[in-house]
Homo-oligomer: A and B are copies of this chain.
Amino acid sequence: MLSGDMAKPLLTCQNADGDLSSPASVGTAIGILGSGDFARSLATRLVDSGFKVIVGSRNPKRSMNLFPSSAEVMPQSDAVKKAEVIFVAVFRDHYTTLCELTDLLVGKILVDVSNNTEINHHKESNAEYLASLFPQCTIVKGFNVISAWTLQCGPRDGNKQVLISCDKQEAKAAVGAIARTMGFVPVDMGSLCAAREIENVPLRLLPFWRIPFLLALSLFICFYIYNFIRSVLHPFLMEHKNKFYKIPIELVNVTLPCVAYVMLSLVYLPGVLAAFFQLYYGTKYRRFPDWLDQWLQHRKQIGLVSFFCAAMHAVYSLCLPMRRSSRYLLLNDAFKQITAGKDNAWVDEEVWRMEVYVSFGIIALGLLSLLAVTSLPSIGNALNWREFSFIQHSPLEDFSRRKVQTLHG
């Protein structure tokens, strides 16, 4: 990129011999069309990052006070002349109002920062719609995943990534450099057709977690009610024994592993069903039915919820001997043993059952922890699929099953 047509700078206004990869230098002019919340936050952040900000407004006098004092506010037609990269901070419905600027915008880079109110709201993404209105501009999708609040204060914690898509490599690099200068991490999402996906990102709320979470919750409630009736209500009604103190800990503790087991079986069941499906239909090149496909895709989340329940069960179990109730029951047992004159309380079968049960429980928890750790994105990315499936399809079920058998055996 040292000579020829390529050397013409896209961003710097002076048309001096520059380089494409360093357009985000201090003092570069950046345009903003719009005067809403997002436009103002964007202006604040750009000014703080050392850019010269030029705001195009329909009513410059009224908007003046809303923007930082070092940003220049002027009529839209003047503003677009002064910058090569222009942020379009305008709602999709008002894109057509910019059509009067069409001639002035030829060859400019327009950054579409818009979001929708619901997933896949329009047939085409906002960015592609903007591109169809201004075919002679380069449209870049980006910054929509950043909230106005984050923009204004600068990136602090959580996600600092700005997803960017564009059909022209140079424009993408230019906007990426601006994002980096503002303190964000640009992520190249490919060509503009990825805009739809990028526009859906901020609307997502843990989509893969909703079903596993609701499933675990309803399982918990069912098992809890059953255990409550069996261990508390029945003894109270039939024998007038007050066992209500079991409600906060003991009942939760016996309910959690039930939930964990059902969830764990739901992780491995769809794989078995898929195998049966393939055997039955004679070929593995036929698509699974939709519900099975959905199920297969939620396995990781179901497995992690199962792990969470198992870990909580472990913590609850470990807390049992710490409770007052356990202490009082032990003291009463000591009293009974002594008044009965029994010098040895030992019951060998009870001892063995508990030792083996606890032992399987610990080993199952250890193996589940390894599974959970390999589910972390940064570790999963370092494994190849052979290693991943080696760990994920471990003999874990075995141990869990044996633990249950031991207790009820």
Question: Is A123 part of the binding interface, using a Cβ–Cβ cutoff of 8 Å?
Answer: no
A285 to B323 Cα, complex, angstroms? 52
Q: Which of B147, B156, B321 interacts with A322 by CB under 8 Å?
A: B321
A177 engages B158 (CB within 8 Å): no
Residues of B within 8 A of A25 (CB): 191, 193
A359 engages B248 (CB within 8 Å): yes
A204 to B386 Cα, complex, angstroms? 8
Most buried by B among A203, A348, A354: A354
Residues of B within 8 A of A1 (CB): 6, 168-170
B348 engages A245 (CB within 8 Å): yes
> Considering only CB atoms and an 8 Å cut-off, how many residues of chain A contact the other chain?
125
A352 engages B245 (CB within 8 Å): yes
A350 engages B366 (CB within 8 Å): no
Question: Is A324 part of the binding interface, using a Cβ–Cβ cutoff of 8 Å?
Answer: yes
Q: Of the listed stretches A78-86, A221-229, A374-382, name the one at the interface; the rest are far from the partner chain.
A: A374-382
A327 to B299 Cα, complex, angstroms? 40
Question: Is A119 part of the binding interface, using a Cβ–Cβ cutoff of 8 Å?
Answer: no
B19 engages A168 (CB within 8 Å): yes
A245 to B315 Cα, complex, angstroms? 24
Residues of B within 8 A of A231 (CB): none
A193 to B21 Cα, complex, angstroms? 12
Residues of B within 8 A of A386 (CB): 202-205
In whole Å, how far is A362's beta carbon from the nearest beta carbon of chain B? 5
Using A252-B359, A323-B355 as known contacts, say yes or no to A335 and B343 having CB atoms under 8 A apart. yes
Tell me which residues from 143 to 201 in chain A have a Cβ below 8 Å from any Cβ of chain B. 145-147, 150, 152-153, 156-161, 166-170, 172-173, 177, 180-181, 189-194, 201
Pick the 8 closest A-B CB pairs, nearest first: A22-B191, A378-B378, A248-B359, A158-B388, A377-B378, A331-B345, A334-B334, A21-B169
Interface residues of A (CB under 8 A from B): 1-6, 19-22, 24-26, 40, 44, 66, 68, 145-147, 150, 152-153, 156-161, 166-170, 172-173, 177, 180-181, 189-194, 201-206, 245, 247-249, 252, 284-285, 296-297, 299-300, 308, 311-312, 314-325, 327-328, 330-339, 342-348, 350-356, 358-359, 362, 365-366, 375-390, 392
Known: A2-B5, A158-B392, A317-B322. 11 other contacts (CB 8 A): A19-B168, A145-B384, A153-B296, A156-B297, A160-B381, A177-B191, A249-B359, A327-B330, A334-B337, A339-B343, A376-B376
